[in-house]
Amino acid sequence: MHRRDLLFVLVTFLSIAVSTCGPGPTLTEAPTSGGASLGEIWIRPDDGMEMVYVTAGEYLMGSDDEEVDKALKMCNEIQGDCSRDRSKDEQLSHTVALDGFWIDRTEVSNAQYR
């Protein structure tokens, strides 16, 4: 899987994970990483963007052979030009540890990025 595709999958996963937690309290100022809990919302004062906190933890990253086979089958049904080489960076699945972090609740517009 290309890095761009992996980033898309990670952001999509985090968006789904956070949206199923239900909204936490809205904060006026971002707490330090040790003071926030999963799903807490902070409104960034610069642009009014809602940010959601994702707690620190260990996550499984990557795919096993069966998952890659399923992804290749779907890709070939849609695009028709997919090969296992596209997924070589996605294997082997392994555990990664992430610090807690804030992420935008929705995608960023071009105007917000500027």
Hey, where are the domains in the chain?
3-106
Q: Work out the percent of the chain whose per-residue pLDDT is above 90.
A: 9
Q: What is the pLDDT of residue 25?
A: 45
For the chain, the C-alpha Rg in angstroms (whole number) is: 17
Q: Which residue has the tokens 């761009």?
A: 4
State the SS3 of 52-84.
Answer: EEECCEEEEECCCHHHHHHHHHHHHHHCCCCCH
Residue 94 is encoded by which pair of tokens? 């392994």
Top-confidence residue, 63 or 10? 63
**pTM of the model as a whole:** 0.49
Q: Do 110 and 47 touch, CB atoms closer than 8 A?
A: no
pLDDT digits (tens, 9 = 90+) for 59-86: 888 888 888 888 889 888 998 888 877 6
From CA 68, how far away is CA 74, in angstroms rounded?
Answer: 10
From CA 19, how far away is CA 53, in angstroms rounded?
Answer: 11
Question: In this structure, how many other beta carbons lie within 10 angstroms of the beta carbon of residue 17?
Answer: 14
Q: Is 87 helix (H, G, I), strand (E, B) or coil?
A: helix
